[in-house]
Amino acid sequence: MAEMRAGYKQTDIGVIPEDWDIKSYGEIFDFLSTISNSRADLCFKGDFGYIHYGDIHTRWENTLDLSKNELPELRREKIKKLPASLRDGDLVMADASEDYEGIAKTVEVKNIGEKKVFSGLHTFLMRDRNAVFSDGIRGYIQEMPVVRQQIQKVATGLKVFGVSKNTLKNVQIPVPKPEEQKQIAAALSDVDGLIESLSHLIAKKRDMKTAAMQQLLTGKKRLPGFDGEWKKRTLGELGDCIIGLTYSPSQIDESGTLVLRSSNIQNGVLKFEDNVRVISKIPEKLMVRQNDILVCVRNGSRALIGKCALINQNAIGMTFGAFMSVYRSEFGSFIFYQFQSDVIQEQINKNLGATINQITNKTMRSFEIDFPEDENERHAIVSILSDMDSEIDTLEQRLDKARSLKTGMMQELLTGKTRLIKTNKKQEAA
């Protein structure tokens, strides 16, 4: 057995600093009443702020600062009985998640001000009854590795993962001394501030790109030096649609050809984090080519129909699945932006079936776009929009690095491996 590092102790939940305590959620927090209104009850202007579990998963990191973030609202008549309203320092935990990583996602609320805010559907509202934890660090409790391990161990569900109050109350939490808590919270808050500012900047740049596409791809705004004719053209006139490869589970093999699917498209670019490979004789037509447009044409989620990415050199030699189509055209780089804009997205929405979430190749070929006959004008438009894409991509890389930095910091600070306060002489000597 390895010798225990000086200044640390072995506990039931693992090795922690000698001067840290262990308490359970039940010992630290009161669990207060919440309300269960659905999205359909919410509005932009109501009487109360409302925290929905879906927003915890998608909109915020570990802290919800209400001086910077707006909430959906509820009118008084939508609530039968008013529960406890939130206070600064309260924790709101999403008790359900569609993926394993999102189990027990939590935010600490601050800067509530005068407005009443309620914790909503599929959430737990927790209040630190004796201020065991300092303001600013509570939102990171569920990020402690030993806490996450316990929560994931007791989570239940097949399609949706969840935890109950009774099981959560027994989860043990390492508790640093107050001064160290404040130091940890300050360090993590700094990197969260960087993540938040980058996220807002990316959102702003995406909005600018959307506005530019609406102007440039419809001819409403012409670039200087261009006044040639634009015509209405169908995708079928300009290229062809090719349905993807059908394969069986028995053909899946790590040594095979990578099959591009909907999960390989994220924010209009190809990602290779969730891959499937198959051993199969693949027709040349079904091997992707540079400037092909990979399009999701069938999916359980209507929102994903039309999701697309432009094939680059990194994907050459890959194929694509049966729920996908490739649109192949010599004008692929220009038409790709039409797919991202409302021009094609609105036509997709009009042609989706009432019960089946799909668009056929025949339907896709009928889609109309505004098409500049001047090749130089097309290239100029693509150049402007691709420059915007490059700027967004650079910012997203910085955001990924900031999130990786935060993950590393949490691994060090929330386990006590790295200490931000001076320890006793025995520990210093070690």
CATH of the domain at 243: 3.90.220.20
Residue whose tokens read 């010992």: 27
Tell me, yes or no, whether 58 and 160 share the same domain: yes
Print the SS3 string covering 316-352. CCCEEECCEEEEECCCHHHHHHHHHCHHHHHHHHHHC
Domain that holds residue 278: 229-372
Residues 6+ apart with CB under 8 A from 233: 368, 369, 371
Chain segment 14-37, per-residue pLDDT in tens: 999 999 999 999 999 999 999 999
d(CA 247, CA 96): 33
pLDDT tier for residue 155 given thresholds of 50, 70 and 90: confident
**Are β-strands 96-97 and 161-162 bridged in parallel, bridged antiparallel, or unpaired?**
antiparallel
Tell me, yes or no, whether 201 and 285 share the same domain: no
d(CA 157, CA 126): 23
Q: Provide Rg for the chain, Cα atoms.
A: 26
Predicted local distance difference test score (pLDDT) of residue 267: 85
d(CA 18, CA 314): 50
> Is 161 a residue whose pLDDT tops 90?
no
Can you tell me the mean pLDDT for 131-156? 93
- CA neighbours within 13 Å on the CB side: how many for 194? 16
Can you tell me the mean pLDDT for 406-412? 96
In a 10 Å sphere around its CB, with 0-12 CB exposed, 13-18 middle and 19+ buried, how is residue 264 labelled? buried
Tell me, yes or no, whether 157 and 190 share the same domain: no
Predicted local distance difference test score (pLDDT) of residue 162: 85
15 lies in some domain: no
3 lies in some domain: no
> Is 1 a residue whose pLDDT tops 70?
no
**Cα-based distances in Å from 374 to 11, 219, 220:** 72, 12, 16
**Are β-strands 293-296 and 324-328 bridged in parallel, bridged antiparallel, or unpaired?**
antiparallel
Mean pLDDT, the chain, whole residue set: 92
Tell me, yes or no, whether 156 and 269 share the same domain: no
263 lies in some domain: yes
12 lies in some domain: no
Domain end position, chosen among 111, 140, 175: 175
14 lies in some domain: no
Can you tell me the mean pLDDT for 211-239? 95
Predicted local distance difference test score (pLDDT) of residue 427: 47
Predicted local distance difference test score (pLDDT) of residue 158: 58
pLDDT tier for residue 186 given thresholds of 50, 70 and 90: very high
Tell me, yes or no, whether 132 and 73 share the same domain: yes
1 lies in some domain: no
223 lies in some domain: yes
Per 3-state DSSP, the chain is made up of helix, strand and coil in percentages (nearest 5) of 40, 25, 40
What's the one-letter identity of residue 426? Answer: K
282 lies in some domain: yes
Predicted local distance difference test score (pLDDT) of residue 303: 86
The total number of structural domains in the chain stands at 3
> Is 425 a residue whose pLDDT tops 50?
no
Tell me, yes or no, whether 106 and 133 share the same domain: yes
Tell me, yes or no, whether 51 and 167 share the same domain: yes
Chain segment 46-71, per-residue pLDDT in tens: 999 999 999 999 999 899 999 999 99
d(CA 83, CA 339): 46
> Is 169 a residue whose pLDDT tops 70?
yes
pLDDT tier for residue 397 given thresholds of 50, 70 and 90: very high
Residues 6+ apart with CB under 8 A from 214: 220, 341, 342
Tell me, yes or no, whether 293 and 394 share the same domain: no
Q: What backbone phi and psi angles, to 5 degrees, belong to 113?
A: 75, -145
pLDDT tier for residue 98 given thresholds of 50, 70 and 90: confident
Can you tell me the mean pLDDT for 83-99? 92
pLDDT tier for residue 430 given thresholds of 50, 70 and 90: very low
d(CA 89, CA 126): 9
> Is 417 a residue whose pLDDT tops 90?
yes
> Is 276 a residue whose pLDDT tops 50?
yes
Q: What percent of the chain has pLDDT over 70?
A: 97
Predicted local distance difference test score (pLDDT) of residue 424: 58
Neighbours of 51 (CB within 10 A): 28
Chain segment 312-363, per-residue pLDDT in tens: 999 999 999 999 999 999 999 999 999 999 999 999 989 886 677 899 999 9
Tell me, yes or no, whether 222 and 236 share the same domain: no
Tell me, yes or no, whether 39 and 166 share the same domain: yes
Predicted local distance difference test score (pLDDT) of residue 96: 85
Tell me, yes or no, whether 379 and 412 share the same domain: yes
Can you tell me the mean pLDDT for 112-133? 95
> Is 398 a residue whose pLDDT tops 50?
yes
What's the one-letter identity of residue 348? Answer: I
Q: What backbone phi and psi angles, to 5 degrees, belong to 428?
A: -60, -40
Tell me, yes or no, whether 133 and 252 share the same domain: no
> Is 75 a residue whose pLDDT tops 80?
yes
CA-based max dimension of the chain: 81
Q: What backbone phi and psi angles, to 5 degrees, belong to 177?
A: -65, 150
Can you tell me the mean pLDDT for 2-15? 88
Task: Report the CATH number at residue 416.
Answer: 1.10.287.1120
Predicted local distance difference test score (pLDDT) of residue 99: 77
